[in-house]
Amino acid sequence: MPIEPKVLATHMAKHGPYFFHVTSAEHHESIMRTGLRPSSELRRTARDGFFRPRKGRVYVCGRDHTQEVPAKGPRLILRVDLSKLDPAFFDTDEDVPRNDEKLRGTQGWFAVKSPCRELLDDGTEALGQGGRLAAWAESIPEFDAPEFAARSLSAGKIAYRETISPAALMAVTLWSKVVEAFKKGAEQGIGLRDLGGVPTEEINTVESERAFVIAEAVMKTGLALLDHPPLTAGRDLSELGTYRRLKDDIRDFARRGHHRGCQDLAFALADLAHAVFKHRRTWDANPCVSANAAACLPHIAAMDSRAVARNLAHRVLQKVS
């Protein structure tokens, strides 16, 4: 079933005409020669098990989702021009209704609930789940109806039931939003202009780890400047639970009548601890963590010196680049 052309046109007018596809760099030459074909035709896929894609589909997504897509080896990111695709071949990406159902914890888009992914104690997927999500989608006659395909497009993910022509594709480089957020925050917050470049975007777990490295370095420097033993003694900043306790402890410390500069830094560190705990739980590579880390830099400069804040920013960016 097609997506309504006016729906696609409205989406492009609001968000621009480009989605993206992530795959292995080794396929670049063949893709640009014959187009982006469904992985089922090529008998290969980067995602197997529960998340094995439906047959005959190519999956493309908005910029906010590119770091979620795995690839074997170096990543190739292809920009897809939606204006050059046929609306008749737009289908619902099965991840979207499943994720919406899990997020809301209520009845989902369809009468048949999505299957649960079974994980072992070590976090690996239990056997026997290959293609369960795809089978669920294929079992629902209205799954690809225009209204659901439109909702999928609006959420930033779509399945395309046809080969995507090379004319609609362009290989591009996407930069790490996590590192970019810290760099921009540092440039604006303490007036730096010599922080160097930003690394290319990687898979979600790598981007999340980059955010954590940034947060840990800034938190260590900030806590040392506060010089309050209950905050610094016995704190293992590699542990997620530490950030949950720090958030409340630092705020209490700030409220107990310390001078303004100390309070400002303490509250900024508390916001950073909250961001780390919130997003680290799900390994969400949200740039708000690194943005919160950058927001601490002006207060570190005020408590010590601009040179200390500048050197910290340089050090952090070297670690994650």
Q: Do residues 53 and 188 share a domain?
A: no
In this structure, the answer to whether residues 77 and 163 fall within a common structural domain is yes
Whether 72 and 204 map to the same domain: the answer is no
Global pTM exceeds 0.85: yes
Whether 113 and 129 share a structural domain? yes
Residues 88 and 192 in one domain: no
d(CA 59, CA 222): 43
Same domain as 164, residue 28: yes
Answer yes or no: do 150 and 196 share one domain: no
For residues 211 and 190, state if they share a domain.
Answer: yes
Answer yes or no: do 155 and 184 share one domain: no
The domain tally of the chain equals: 2
Boundary residue ending a domain (172, 191, 211): 172
Point out the domain boundary residue: 172, 190, 218.
172
Q: Residue 18 sits in which domain range?
A: 5-172
Q: What is the pLDDT along the chain (321 residues), one digit of tens a residue?
A: 689 999 999 999 999 999 999 999 999 999 999 999 998 887 777 677 899 999 999 999 999 999 998 888 899 999 999 999 999 999 999 999 999 998 877 778 999 999 999 988 887 888 888 899 999 999 999 999 999 999 999 999 999 999 999 999 999 999 999 999 999 999 999 987 777 889 999 999 899 999 999 999 999 999 999 987 778 777 888 888 889 889 999 999 888 867 778 999 999 999 999 999 988 877 777 899 999 999 999 999 999 999 999 999 999 999 998
Residue 264, both tokens = 């400002």
Residues 198, 277, single domain; the answer is yes
Q: Give the strand order in the sheet containing 58-61.
A: 90-91, 157-160, 58-61, 18-24, 75-81, 169-172
Indicate whether 20 and 41 sit together in one domain: yes
What's the Rg (C-alpha) of the chain? 23
**What are the backbone angles phi and psi of residue 107, rounded to the nearest 5°?**
-60, 135
